[in-house]
Structure 1
Amino acid sequence: MKLGLELEYWVVDDSGALVGADELLDIHEAVVPELIDPMIEIQLPPADGLTELRQNLITILETVLARASDLDKHLVPLATPLTEHQFPITSDRGKLLQRIYGDEIKYAKNCAGTHIHFDKGSVVDQLNLLTALDPAIALVSSSPYYDGVLMGMDARALSYRTHSTELLTRYRDLWPYAKTTEEWDERLAQMYETLKLQAEQLDIPEVEFTHFIQQEDVVLTPVRLREETPTVEWRAPDVALPSQILQFVSDISMLMSLTEEKSVNIGTPGIRLEEIGIPPFGELRAITATAMNDGLSERVCQYLAAMRFDINQYEPLAEEIAGEYRLSVADARKIRLEYANRLREDVETLLY
């Protein structure tokens, strides 16, 4: 199974303040801009397994971090900027989305995540298993703060999925299990037409809408089907330290490989001889809510253990960072620099 990986990072200066990332964009073809200036995305090429993926990630991060050091800049592996920021959107696609979403675009632009791509196999089983693994976000949650307020153990997921109108929530939140790929495609087509109608009501020309938004990327949900890649994409996890992400990808890819030989069935959660059991969707939503708010609670740990995760392999950054209800700008800058240093140390450790 080929694996793809995309990682989003904040860029800060020596004071810990968020700054523009333009000077980092030409250092490697894998580095691309994001919706706002202080964030970059590293897009790894498809890899034939974990060993190649690991080597690609280390090589690219080494290159980017060396250039950042020359510029007195740093990469921060945290899911939110911690405190409130009003950075303008820079991309044309982003500006179009802002016209459609309005102020609620901030919940998308102020979040840094991890996107994992898997080769298509038994697609419905893959979609449903990734949906059922949603509570695993607690293993790599990396920011409890959003706009300077302690939200929960996964502030990115909470703000991204729940802080919007009912209409827009459908474009960002977890979808129910799929019965067929045709059903999934029909859902996607309906979402596309709904957003297109919304754009028409805002006097956005159809040619402009269709140029920047295609049906397959109209939603920003945790699980997506990609036709052009072609892959099943999982967008649920936060960005975190590279070693944490690699451990996470290892565990998730092992589970995904089981869909080649086991069916995925709704019932009692767990990995059994001939099936992978996943909970009813309502029960799953409740476990995910606990994961977002409380992190690795007893309920979440019991569920993840049933899905064969070794909880002891993970130390979420959000648990280290969580403190007072409100976070000052000065403290946020210190935290960013601390985890920028942790990122460099982590990459150096991975070299040996």
Structure 2
Amino acid sequence: MSSTTDHRSGPHGTAVSVDGSGPLRRSIEVEYWVVDEEGRLVEPGGLVGTTEGAEREFVEPILEVKTTPCETTAELRGELYERLETVLRRADELGKGLVPLATPMSEEVIGELDGERTRIQNRVVGDDFRYVRHCAGTHIHVEQRPGREIDQLNALVAADPALALANTSPYFDGRRLAAGARSKLYRRMAYDDVPHQGGLWRYADDTREWSRRLERRFEEFVTAAVNAGVDRTAVESNFDPESAVWTPVQLRECFSTVEWRSPDNALPSEVLRLADDVAGFVERLDGAELRIEGETGRATEETVVLPEFDAVLRYVDAAIEEGLESEDVRSYLDRMGFDVDAYSPVTHDIDGRESISPEEARELRLEHAERLERDVRGAERRSAREAPSLRERTD
């Protein structure tokens, strides 16, 4: 007898069960600063295109490495490390390295690539757009469950304080800014005058409400651009409602994912751990009741309770300003099911001074570029040890 379970075609050709069964695919986009052998920021040049998913970003000294959607942690780990290994082999030839720190730390002039989208954003945001040029982060995409998209979105809004698990730089322009300097630059400084574009949005009731929000924000963006002297046609030909917002948690119709854009860049092993934990948190929704109430939040196998939005914002603020040194943040993430003790955010290792010189910043970049290389090489050696021998493969 044939199964009566209703299946639909999911994103990327995956069969997704309407009842929430099946693997929840996830993918990663991570940005790394590129440096030369002296720790100076340089363009990626020949690193671009060395492997699938190795691409330019809009600022000159950043290389972005992307994965495809993967069903398992092992698949995601293998793909990310394989692509980074290919990039690093070419980087060795060119005398370059990849730096897993969220900001350049010292005072730097960061150039950007010519492009109409960037030109328009500069006109809309103004001088504050320079703060965005100093930010390198990680985007985690989780596959949408049909009928549960808004629950997934709201869960990731509540999980936003988990950005503290991957804070990697407290410095900007040579001075201490916050435990999560990148998040403060992006949310509090770059988009301060257009907070709907870059800030965390409140929970949504349904996909229709989400679509209405996007339309309103897009019209606000178009109006701001026109007021700044940009032709409306130019704006509408380069942006649409989905691509004209930079809020940290988004429903992405074009990818059929829920995207979390909050984490800093970090070592690949840390990025993978966080992606796995975030996907696991979202997967809890498959068999749990979801409620929004109170200020504490908790997640069990039976129930996921999201705090009221204003409480989430307080946890987010503490995650940015204090990181895991905030006991409130640690307790909150623990209640929500994150293994806080498994993480060692770099920001707390390099924090402790109010200013940092260009020479110190270059030394730190080189040190952490070496850490990234060891992380990738170590994964390669582990994979080789775990791989079956020829005899095992042919028996």
Higher relative contact order (CA 8 A, sep 6+): 1
Q: Using the alignment, how far apart are the partners of 2:100 and 2:30 within structure 1?
A: 9
Equivalent residue, structure 2, for 1:201: 227
2:136·2:264 contact (CA, 8 Å) conserved in 1? yes
CA distance in 2, matches of 1:211, 1:263: 42
Q: Once the 2 structures are TM-superposed, how far is the Cα of residue 165 of structure 1 from its aligned partner?
A: 5.7
1:104 partnered with 2:133: no
1:255-274 CA distance string (max 9 Å, x none): 11111222321125111343
Following superposition of structure 1 onto structure 2, how do residues 21-36 of structure 1 map, counting pairs within 5 Å?
21-36=44-59
CA–CA distance in 1 between the matches of 2:123 and 2:109?
Answer: 16
Matches within 5 A, 1:1-352: 1-92=24-115, 93-121=117-145, 122-164=148-190, 166-267=192-293, 268-296=296-324, 297-351=326-380, 352=382
Please tell me whether the aligned partners of residues 191 and 197 of structure 2 are also in contact (alpha carbons under 8 angstroms).
Answer: no
Supply the AA of the counterpart residue of 1:45. T
State the SS of the aligned residue for 1:163: helix
Instruction: Give the CA RMSD over aligned residues.
Output: 1.3
Q: Which residue of 1 aligns with 2:14?
A: none
Partner SS state of residue 152, structure 2:
helix
- 1:264 match: secondary structure: strand
Deviations 1:25-58 (A, max 9, x none): 1312311111111001111111122111111001
Q: Specify the code of the residue in structure 1 equivalent to 2:139.
A: H
Instruction: Please list every run of 5 or more consecutive structure 2 residues that lacks an aligned counterpart in the other structure.
Output: 1-23, 383-395
How many matched pairs?
A: 352
Per the normalisation by structure 1, the TM-score is: 0.97
The alpha carbon displacement at 1:287 in A equals 1.2
Larger radius of gyration: 2
Question: Runs in 1 of length 4+ with deviation above 3 angstroms?
Answer: 164-167
Matched-pair contact (CA < 8 Å) for 2:53–2:65: yes
Are the equivalent residues in 2 in contact too, given 1:89–1:95 (CA < 8 A)?
no
2:84 aligns to what SS in structure 1? helix
Deviation for aligned residue 1:59: 0.5
Q: Percent identity?
A: 38
Q: Report the Cα offset of residue 19 of structure 1.
A: 0.7
After superposition, give the CA deviation of every residue in 1:188-231 in whole Å (9 maximum; x if it has no partner). 11000011011112232222212211111111111011111111
Q: Work out the CA distance in 1 between the residues paired with 2:284 and 2:191.
A: 37
Q: Give per-residue Cα distances to partners, 1:158-191, cap 9 Å, x unaligned.
A: 1111014644222111111111111111111100
Unpaired segments of 5 or more residues in structure 1?
A: none
- Cα distance between partner residues in 2 of 1:238 and 1:192: 26
- 2:122–2:129 contact (8 Å) kept in structure 1: yes
Instruction: Give the letter aligned to residue 145 of structure 1.
Output: Y
Change (3 A) 1:82 1:349: same
Question: By how many angstroms is 1:21 displaced?
Answer: 1.2
Give the Cα–Cα distance (whole angstroms) in 1 for the partners of residues 351 and 254 of structure 2. 40
